[in-house]
């Protein structure tokens, strides 16, 4: 039987992905299979988040980003949206102490649009508690959309463009990247998506230009530490060329 410890022993510590990003998909289908409501699926999905955070700490991943709520998720029924927003905030509040004890630094990335000031303030207050931690960087993509992130980056550059500080001649990828939500976060090396869907769904579209993509049929609430290590081991078997030969 594959166990976490056995798979962990197979890891090549020279080939660890620095940043793993995850599209947590399949909560609704998982719940439906069990004859339960969608929110039950999301709550069970939160347990998988805990499991992969633990696994990331145990194997020394430096950055883990999870796609918790997308800018497109607002189109879901109001009760599901409310339930998801509450689940994300309450999980953060409940777990923050333990996360911090494990030297985890928590941050949120995403758009401010449609998020109440009260919600943002609460998130900020919790994340602040972990700001000096130096272990795993756990990043929650919340009200996140890759296209709006790119537009926001352009909007942030406009004052400098107007002043002539940013010009067509001096604008580089590095300058552009410094205006993304992910400033100071390295690009993902490995991007995992569960539930059998094979697309990026507007997640880290700029940053994933060279990410290794890993798709599994496992529904998110069933995705555990063993499944996470299997993804990392598969990543370690890939040859990354970054456009070279
Ligand atoms: C996709 O499944 C999942 C989401 C949109 C939400 C993921 C959120 C959590 C797991 C909540 C916990 C998060 C944190 C950070 C504590 P889906 O609803 O699209 O499933 P379906 O495709 O089967 O309908």
Q: What are the CA-CA distances from residue 239 to residues 83, 102, 125, 235 (Å)? A: 41, 33, 41, 8
Q: Which residues form ligand 1's pocket by a CB distance below 6 Å?
A: 24-29, 42, 45-46, 49, 66, 68, 73, 84, 87-88, 91, 140, 195
Instruction: Determine which residue's CA is closest to atom 1 belonging to ligand 1.
Output: 25
pLDDT in tens, 59-87: 999 999 999 999 999 999 999 999 999 99
Q: How far is the CA of 212 from the centre of ligand 1 (A)?
A: 22
Euclidean distance between CA atoms 172 and 161, whole angstroms: 13
**Mutate-to-test residue for ligand 1 from 27, 38, 215, highest number of ligand atoms within 8 A of CB:** 27
pLDDT of residue 220: 98
Q: How confident is the model at residue 245 (pLDDT cuts 50, 70, 90)?
A: confident
pTM of the predicted structure, to 2 decimals: 0.96
For residue 97, is pLDDT > 90?
yes
SS3 for 140? Answer: strand
Active site residues: 25, 73
Q: How confident is the model at residue 120 (pLDDT cuts 50, 70, 90)?
A: very high
């Amino acid at each position: 039987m594959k166990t976490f410890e056995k798979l962990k022993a197979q890891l090549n510590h020279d080939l660890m992905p620095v940043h793993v990003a995850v599209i947590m998909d399949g909560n609704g289908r998982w719940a439906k299979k069990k004859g339960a409501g969608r929110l039950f699926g999301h709550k069970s999905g939160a347990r998988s988040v805990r499991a992969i955070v633990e696994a990331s700490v145990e194997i020394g991943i430096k950055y883990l980003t999870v796609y918790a709520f997308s800018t497109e998720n607002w189109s879901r029924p109001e009760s599901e949206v409310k339930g998801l927003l509450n689940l994300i905030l309450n999980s953060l509040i409940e777990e923050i102490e333990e996360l911090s004890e494990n030297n985890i630094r928590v941050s949120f990335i995403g758009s401010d649009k449609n998020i109440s000031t009260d919600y943002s303030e609460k998130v900020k207050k919790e994340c602040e508690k972990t700001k000096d931690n130096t272990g795993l960087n756990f990043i929650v993509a919340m009200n996140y959309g890759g296209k709006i992130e790119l537009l926001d980056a352009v909007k942030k550059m406009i004052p400098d463009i107007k002043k002539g500080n940013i010009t067509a001649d001096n604008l580089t990828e590095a300058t552009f990247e410094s205006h993304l939500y992910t400033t100071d976060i390295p690009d993902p090396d490995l991007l995992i998506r569960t539930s059998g869907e094979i697309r990026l769904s507007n997640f880290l579209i700029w940053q994933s230009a060279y990410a290794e993509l890993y798709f599994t049929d496992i529904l998110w609430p069933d995705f555990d530490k063993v499944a996470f290590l299997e993804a990392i081991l598969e990543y370690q078997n890939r040859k990354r060329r970054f456009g070279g030969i």
